Amino acid sequence: MFNKKQEDFVDRQPIHEIVVDGSEWETVDAWFQYCVDKMEKEWAHNVRRWNDDWK
């Protein structure tokens, strides 16, 4: 993510290791759904935070 000065301000960290054993897509799908659910639950907080970052 970038602020209005085009500076990357996110400390990126892996969410979960993807093991190549035939279950890769199950892992990706499960964690994708987790992230979508989290985003939907925390959208109002994120809007406030994003608005503050763009001031």
pLDDT of res. 55? 61
* Sign of the torsion angle spanned by Cα atoms 34, 36, 42, 11: positive
| Rounded distance between C-alpha atoms, residue 29 and residue 37, angstroms | 12
| Rounded distance between C-alpha atoms, residue 52 and residue 15, angstroms | 26
Does residue 35 sit within a domain?
yes
Tell me how far the alpha carbon of residue 30 is from its chain's centroid: 14
pLDDT, tens digit only, all 55 positions of the chain: 677 787 887 777 888 999 999 999 999 999 999 999 998 999 888 888 878 766 6
Does residue 45 sit within a domain?
yes
Does residue 8 sit within a domain?
no
What is the total count of domains within the chain?
A: 1
pTM (two decimals): 0.58
| Rounded distance between C-alpha atoms, residue 51 and residue 30, angstroms | 30
Does residue 29 sit within a domain?
yes
